[in-house]
Structure 1
Amino acid sequence: MLDVLPQLTEDFMRITANKFMALWNFPNCVGAIDGKHIRKKSPNNSGSLFFNYKEYYSMVLLAIVDADCKFLAVDVGSHGREGDAGIYLKSNIGRRIQNIEFKFPAPHPLPESTEAVPCSVVPIRPCTRYLYSLKILKKSIDATNVSERSTRYLLISNSL
């Protein structure tokens, strides 16, 4: 079988973070995540499982993209009635981020700073900020021994 998505090695993620900084002036970002409803015909005997808040039948594609808007990770097939956060929590993408299985680069300082801050995947829309609940950030922070001051910055920047 042909692999079309890149292997998310630490080196690849470091290059992606550098591209986000160069193209979008966004430091320590290794991807952007969002969900998209894909319109479909109503499946037989599906009831309202695929009927979404936009009032049509759909499946949801959840994806992480790089700075060039190329797919890094994709999860397809969730029911249209589910929201991004629920899909994220049950997806392989969500589990891998929560369990810190993605090979994120080591924390490094933000521009004009000396304190190391972890790299992260950022939500494209405000409603997906649930992905960065305190619990998830705490896991990431505990795993990288980031200072309390950097933690406050992360919590503030991800709650915008």
Structure 2
Amino acid sequence: MEDRAGFRSLLQMNAEELEFILNKVAPLITKMHTKMRRAITAKERLALTLRFLATGESFSSLSFQFRVGESTISMIVSQTCEALHRTLHDEYLKTPNTEKEWLDIAQDFLQKWQFPHCLGAIDGKHITIQPLAHTGSTFRNYKGRFSVLLLAVVDAKYQFKYVNLGAQGRASDAGVFAACDLKQALDRNLLSIPAAKSLPGSDMEVPFVFLGDDAYSLRSDLMKPFPFRQLDYEQRIFNYRLSRGRRVVENGFGILANRWRVFLSTIALHPDKVQKLILACVCLHNYLREVRSETYTIPGLADTETTDHRLVEGLWRNDGLGAMLPLQIGRCGNNPMAAKEVRDKLKTYFVTPAGRVPWQDNFI
């Protein structure tokens, strides 16, 4: 505890943040002493788990450091990750379900990234896992590796507002989204998303939308870029403005992988345990982003812009996403006329005095 710098680099948080998390999970991971031996304390269990998540070290390496058997470490990591998710997800991994919550996110996107009516950026990643016996090609992805899929929506503060896990590695972005409960909730209007409103400084009425890449189908509530061929001026401006908004999800995944370096290598766990691990890391990420932990999000970790709005790549890009692979682009289906009309309205708005930003012509 005297070595604060070493403590922070090992666990990606300071002592006060560790105590907060410990108070949350201790009731679920505390074990009773027996006549034969003393139980491993809740603090040791949490520290061991955080050490594994923050470094991705093997269980054999951790066994030498903590003097705990490998099978015991496997059990501790699984149980503690499950406890982290159970105790933190209600507060730190909660999909908005009121108009005010969605409007707050949209306001952040407008202020930080100058994209109006944006409710979040959506993307997915393969999380590489060890090959499983007797599963054939079920978890084999387009790169020939075994993986589970993580689909996520990230807000303007790099916090995850929705995650979907467990899809098989062979699925594509479009296929995962088509089958996820987020799409079903959007189709059934269950998320209390605000009704369409006029764009700032304009009388053009546009619904609130999510931002995706080419892998997704164009929807009235999900915008994607124009195809990158024979683009006119307005289309190039729209693609640039959308790419600035989508940058948050790239950085969200980048910060997650850089801080919890277990994602930079193949995870040698069963898919069920990998899901618990991912959910625990996302909850920890959101908590540490919420409290603005200086230990967790160090200066320059995320992408920034210069005064003339040129991109300065974040430090997370030095390590990349490791074993996090982009999802394969699948068949996107038909783009309904209503969705094209929404995109065309935004395209037009971004070149009007009310919607343009002074530097956009320099980056198309």
Question: Is this a same-fold pair by TM over 0.5?
Answer: yes
Task: State the alpha-carbon separation in 2 of the partners of residues 74 and 66 from structure 1.
Answer: 12
For residues 91 and 152 of structure 1, the distance between their equivalents in structure 2, rounded to whole angstroms, comes to 25
1:152 and 2:240 aligned: no
* Distance in 2, Cα, partners of 1:13 & 1:30: 6
TM-score (norm 1): 0.80
* CA contact 2:141–2:147 (8 Å) conserved in 1: yes
TM (normalized to structure 2)? 0.37
- In structure 2, the partner of 1:103 is 192
Between structures 1 and 2, the one with greater helix share: 2
Q: How far apart, in 2, do the equivalents of 1:112 and 1:79 lie?
A: 45
Give me the identity figure in percent: 33
- Within 5 Å, give how 1:6-155 maps onto structure 2: 6-8=94-96, 9-123=98-212, 125-128=213-216, 130=217, 132=219, 134-135=335-336, 138=338, 152-154=341-343
Distance 1:46 1:39 in 2: 15
Pair member with larger Rg: 2
- Distance in 2 of aligned mates of 1:155 and 1:99: 25
The structure carrying a bigger strand percent of its residues is 1
Mapped contact 1:88–1:131 kept (Cα < 8 A):
no
The total of aligned residue pairs comes to 144
1:43 CA displacement: 2.0
Which residue of the partner structure matches residue 144 of structure 1?
none
Computed over aligned residues only, the root mean square deviation of the Cα atoms, in angstroms, reads: 2.2
> 1:61 and 1:118, CA in 2 relative to 1: closer, same or farther beyond 3 A?
same
Q: Which runs of 5+ in 2 are unaligned?
A: 1-85, 220-333, 348-364
Give, in angstroms, the shift of residue 80 of structure 1: 0.6
Contact 1:85 1:131 in 2 (8 A): no
State the AA in 2 paired with 1:27.
P
After superposition, give the CA deviation of every residue in 1:3-35 in whole Å (9 maximum; x if it has no partner).
131351210100000000111111100111111
Matching residue's letter, 1:5: L
